[in-house]
Each structure stands twice: as C-alpha cells, then as structure tokens.
Chain A
Amino acid sequence: MKTFTLINEKGGVGKTTIAIHVAAGLAIRGYRVVLADADAQGHATVSLGLKKDPGLYDLLVRGAPFQEVLKPVNPNLFASSSQPCKGQLYVVPSNVETRSIPIQISDAFAVADRFRDLHDLVDVVVFDTSPTPSLLHGSIYLATDSIIYPTKCEYLSFDGLVESFTHRDMMQQTRKRWGLENINVMGIVPTMFRASTLVHQENLNKLKARYGDLVWPEVYMRTVWAEASTVGQLVYRFAPDSGAARDMWAIVDRVEMEMGT
C-alpha cells in the first residue's frame, strides 16, 4: 500500500482537484484507491458525488469500522466506456466534524494506525488536506509516505509551498526518532497554468531551476475544469479528449512512475 498526500499551505491551488483526479485516474488504471478527505470543507467528498456523511471523524474518534466509513464512488462520474474503471475508488468522507478530530484524539499516530489496517485491501491511499495548518496535519505527516505539492505559479502559492517544505523538514526529525523513513517528495504540480501570462512563465522557470525534475508537467487553466465541476463529473468523463484530461493523465503517469509500479 502506498500513501501520499496533497499539501500546500495556500488555499485554492488545486489540491482537491488534483487529489480526486489522481485517485480516480489510478482507479481507472486498475488500482484499489482510497481517497481520505482530511479537509473540513469536504470538497473532495462532494466533488465525487457523495454526501458529507460521517467519515474521517467517525473512523478516528468513534473507532468506526472501515465498512461504515468507506463510500464507493460511482464510476459513472469518472470512468467511461472507452476508459472503464478497472479498479475501485472509495472515499472516506469529510465534513465540518473533521475540524474537531484533533481535540478528540490525543494519539498522533491514530491516522497511521487506522489506515494501516487497509494494508492488504487497497493499493493506494490519498490524503487531501486543508490549506490551513491544523493539529491534524501532524498526524497525516506521520501517516504518509510521500507528498505531492500542487502550486500555482504565483507568489503566494510559492510561499505556501516553501512553508510546506519547511514543515516537512521539521517533521523528518520526529519521524526519524520514531523509526520512520523520510517523507518522499513525489512531485510538484504547477496548476492553473497560463502560458500566456508572463509571470507564470517566469515563476515556472524559477520553480524548475530550484526543484528540477521534481516539477511535473503543468496542468493548464482551462474552462473545461469549471464545466466538469459544475455537472459533478471528473474531466476524464466529462471531456475525455480535452486538454485537461490529457494534462491529468500526464500527472497520473508520473504518480505511477514514482510509485514504482
């Protein structure tokens, strides 16, 4: 089982969108995927056509079994006849209760411990996080193998990115103390990229100069993203031949490559 997390301490950079599309893309390719929504907004949950039902809170605080909190995602939202879903996609939903998880549990390894139960049952666990640093972040940093950093090529997003990197570094020492491997930086995804905008190009160059191969192909700003979201579908389903779907498959390729499968 591989676990990775979408993190950027800047809101609105596309964490949730990348999370659901990577999770769904991997499911289409035959992986058994669980997307854990760890953001009290519950937008990953809603984006996959689910209600903000009891989910992560119940799993961690009430000790609910996975059968109760894992919600299967209807493949009709993301797969199509030309690209059927060969695997499975489940969501651990989130709602406003998620924000009180840290005051109800004291064990920072709660997330790691619970999700380890899925070890033989699923191939990939994806955590979608909130941009605002919360006490839950510490638990997720202890539960994840890798991090994907979505970022817009803009100043504040970079600030969030740098903050996130700093915090990852800070966590490494703690992980080391508890015998855990370092958190792997899987990649950085430039999102909402506008090639026609000079500042985006400049910043993308700076990003590449600094992080080199860790910078993955850009996901362009396209109208089709908003359209797909409005009808509650993923771009693979809504517009399988669109540039957005193409961009995303390139990202899924990189994820697969990095997972070494």
Chain B
Amino acid sequence: MNRKGKLAGVDPFGADQPDEQPDQGDDAATSADTPKLSMSDADAALFGELSRREGQRQNVRGVSIFSIYPDAKQPRRAVPSDVRAHWSGEPKDIADLFNAWLQHINAERKRAGRPRFRLDDVLWAESVQAQNHDEEDMKREEVAGPVERGFLQVIDLAISIRRDGLANPVTLHRAGGNQYRLETGERRWLAYHVLYGYFNGADGKPQERDKWENIPSLIVEHFSVWRQASENTARADLNAIGRARQFALLLMDLLQRSGETFRPFEAMTRGGSDRAYYAQVLGYRVPSGKSELLSNGIGVTHRAAFSRCRTLLGLPDEVWTIGDNISLSEDELLRLARIEPASAAIKEARELAQIVASRNNFDSPKPTKKRGSKSPTLFDDSALKTGKRLFSKQNALIAKEILEIRDGVTAANPATKQQLKQAIDELRGCLNQLESKLGDG
C-alpha cells in the first residue's frame, strides 16, 4: 500500500464544507457611518452563542439623552398613551411630547375649572419663591388630575435630580448605531429632558444644558425583561394594566425560550392601544415549574393573579387604555370585564374616566350649570345609584385624597370652604340614605 494511496482518501477539509465563492468587497465598510455593536455581541456573532457572556462590566457613563429611545413595551407608562401618540418617537422631537402633555394637562384643568398650568411655578424654585404661595401650590399634587399627576412626578424627579443629582443610573441596551433603548429609567430620562429643555439660559433662567445633556447610564449587554420587571416591582406599584403587561412580557420571554414566536410590538398596536401585542400570550399556559419565577417577576404572591391578568388582557382595547390612563383598580377592571356586551363596558369606562377627570373642581371659580345635578361627580346621586362603583377602590382613593387635603382646608378661601361643606353635607345625606336602606334589608 503506497502512502500516496492512503493520503488520497483523506479530505483535510472535511466533507461538508461549502464551496467558498467570496464576494469582492471594497472599503465601503470603513467609510460608511459605522454603527455600534458590543464586543461580546460581535464575539457571539463570530464564534457562536457559547462564547456569549453576560455583561460583567458595570461602567457608568454619560449617554446623550437624544440618543436614548424609550422601550415601547415597558409595562409601566410614564407618559399617558394619548399624549405619547403626539410624539414621533424620535428623541429630537421630544418637545412635541411635552407640548402635548401640557395641552392635555390644561384640558384636564379646564374641565376641572382650574387655571392653566405654569411650568415656572413648579420647576424653578427661584421663581416660585419670588411669588406668593397660594393654596394652588400647597396642594398641587392633591388636586391634580391623572394626566397632571404623571407629569408632576417627572417634574418632582427633575427637581430632586437638579438638587441632589441622579442617585441611580438608568440602564440602557444598545439598539444599534449610537442609539440606546431604555431598559429602566424612563422617568429619569424624561426628567433630564425637562431640565435640558427648561434651563436653557433664556428668560433669566440659568443655562445648564451641558449638565443635562448626558445622563449617567449603565449599558447592559442583553435586554432583560426580568431585570426590568424587578425594578418595576421594587419601585412604586404598577397599576393593574401595567401588571398585566408585565405578566404578558415575562410569559412571552419564557415562551420564546422554548421556541415560540410572537408578532412584533409595532405590528400589534392599533388605534393607540397596545393590548393586542400583550394579548398574544392568551393562548399559552405558563410553562411548568415556572410559575414561581413568574409570580415573583410580577410581584404577586399567588398564581391566582395570573388568571386575573389574563382576564385584563382580554378587555376591550379602549377599556384597557382608559384603565391604564386613570389607573383603575384591578377589581374595577375585572368588573368591567364581566360586562356584556363590550360596548357597555366601554361606555362605563368612559364614564369612569369622566368622573376622574372632573372630580377636582372644588376651587372652580364658577361651577358650570351644565355640570349640575347630572354631572357624574363623586357626590352626585346618579353615581350613588351604581352603589358598587361608589365604594370601589377607585372611590376609596378619592376619599383618601379628600382626607389628605384636610390640612389645606383651613387655608382655603371661603368659597371653597362653602363648597366643601356643601359636598360633605351631600355625602352625609347619601350615606344616611344608604344606611337606612341597609337597615330595611
């Protein structure tokens, strides 16, 4: 047997290597505006997923607020969805978002008969101090409607960041090029935009743009819905819709690991509602052995919460959106979910939205006649007739707010006091009536 014969049978390349017909590249690669990619992503692309490492580098660095995009899927909505609808989604157009937000706030204030919102009053301490404190400032949080309250949370954060600095960096995930996607920290990011936009050196305000253009950020290698969830549950509670979103996102993540695919967020939002995207999980069970992981992720103690989340995911789109915007309680939403047909549930949800929008009208300079006895305020008879609604968590919240403003009551002007007294009498009457009915039964 000659050696040549032996060698001829050996294919040093192995059998299954495809033929190489490489393209003729040029140097466009270096002249193009090259986007960005992380080292370990590149490594995983080159040598396969096995070499992928979870990010160990935890370097905080400043990232331009204009290269950061919010995560549309984030269960917690810092910006009401009908405000967000006015924004292109590009950070450079963020002013549109704030303008729309202020417009909504002013519309809300108009409905409640309150004066227009002035950013100077809340944001710029120097200018606030220069003015006389009126009760408007004292209890601005208490009387604010839901849209305004969300905005004030951002403003308060901005004030605290300006005073004490940012305690927690935001976490970002590289989205390509110089663009990043927010994993956590949407409010902090918005607060930086507020500071950047407001302290621009105009009208005697300090010029601090350099300070607020870059936000301290932690760049994470891999976007994790679980990390996002743990921050969501560690901070203030998600509202019921937020929790349903969180449930759906985490379940999607679990299912995707076992090969399921879901249609992308962008393709599934319609008419301002994103419900359909999250509702994609409705046909799936929680993978076995994962329910504890999931209940920890959404911050509930019992898996019964899952089926409640599923019920909410099946709400009509509009009820879903209203429920998120005015943070309806889970009980309230479950009640709406039971109402047939859907149009009736939508009608009720709209009514609830109206109640919330018009309830803070104590200081209304001239209570309009239109809002007379027919108005669906807390103290209105028609509201009482749907007795259950009066005592829902939603109204417990309102009652709590009334209690909270009691400190401000002594300072209120006589007309307000008169109105309050009237309202309390009315409520007392309602309660007496109800009590007597209960006695009869």
Asked if residues B35 and A179 are in contact (CB atoms below 8 Å), the reply is yes
Closest A-chain residue to B4, C-beta based? Answer: A198
Is A142 close to B, CB under 8 A? yes
Q: How far is the CA of A225 from the CA of B43 in the complex (A)?
A: 35
The smallest C-beta distance from A164 to any residue of chain B, in angstroms, reads 10
Asked if residues A171 and B46 are in contact (CB atoms below 8 Å), the reply is yes
In A79-122, the 8 Å CB interface with B consists of: 102-103, 105-109, 112-113, 115-116, 119
Selecting from A12-20, A29-37, A48-56, A199-207, the interface stretch reads A199-207
Q: How far is the CA of A109 from the CA of B38 in the complex (A)?
A: 8
Partner of A182 from the list B23, B32, B51 (CB cut-off 8 Å) is: B23
B12 contacts which chain A residues (CB < 8 A)? 155, 158-159, 203, 206
Closest B-chain residue to A206, C-beta based? Answer: B12
A170 contacts which chain B residues (CB < 8 A)? 45-48
Asked if residues B46 and A141 are in contact (CB atoms below 8 Å), the reply is yes
Q: How far is the CA of A95 from the CA of B289 in the complex (A)?
A: 50
A158 contacts which chain B residues (CB < 8 A)? 12-13
Closest A-chain residue to B46, C-beta based? Answer: A138
Selecting from B14-22, B76-84, B86-94, the interface stretch reads B14-22
In B51-82, the 8 Å CB interface with A consists of: 51, 55, 57, 59
Given contacts A3-B27, A116-B31, A165-B20, contact A206 B45 (CB under 8 A): no
Give the bracket for the number of chain A residues in contact with chain B.
35 or more
Asked if residues A108 and B39 are in contact (CB atoms below 8 Å), the reply is yes
B interface, over-half SS: loop
Is A191 close to B, CB under 8 A? no
Partner of B37 from the list A1, A108, A144, A165 (CB cut-off 8 Å) is: A108
Bits for B171-188, please: 1 = Cβ < 8 Å to A, else 0: 000001000000000000
Is B40 close to A, CB under 8 A? yes
Q: How far is the CA of A135 from the CA of B44 in the complex (A)?
A: 9
Tell me how many residues of B have a C-beta within 8 Å of chain A. 44
A199 contacts which chain B residues (CB < 8 A)? 7
A174 contacts which chain B residues (CB < 8 A)? 37, 41-42, 45-46
* Most-contacted residue by chain A among B20, B22, B176 (CB, 10 A): B22
Binding site for B on A (CB under 8 A): 1-3, 102-103, 105-109, 112-113, 115-116, 119, 133, 135, 137-139, 141-146, 155, 158-159, 162, 165-167, 170-171, 173-175, 178-185, 198-199, 202-203, 206, 210-211, 214
Considering the complex of A and B, which 10 residue pairs feature the smallest CB-CB distances, nearest first? A138-B42, A108-B42, A184-B25, A174-B45, A185-B22, A158-B12, A181-B25, A108-B37, A182-B23, A180-B29
Binding site for A on B (CB under 8 A): 3-4, 7-8, 10-14, 17, 19-20, 22-32, 34-43, 45-48, 51, 55, 57, 59, 176, 219, 221
18 new A-B pairs (CB below 8 Å) besides A170-B46, A206-B12? Answer: A1-B30, A102-B43, A107-B39, A108-B36, A109-B34, A109-B35, A116-B30, A116-B31, A116-B34, A133-B47, A135-B43, A135-B51, A141-B42, A143-B29, A155-B12, A158-B12, A180-B28, A182-B23
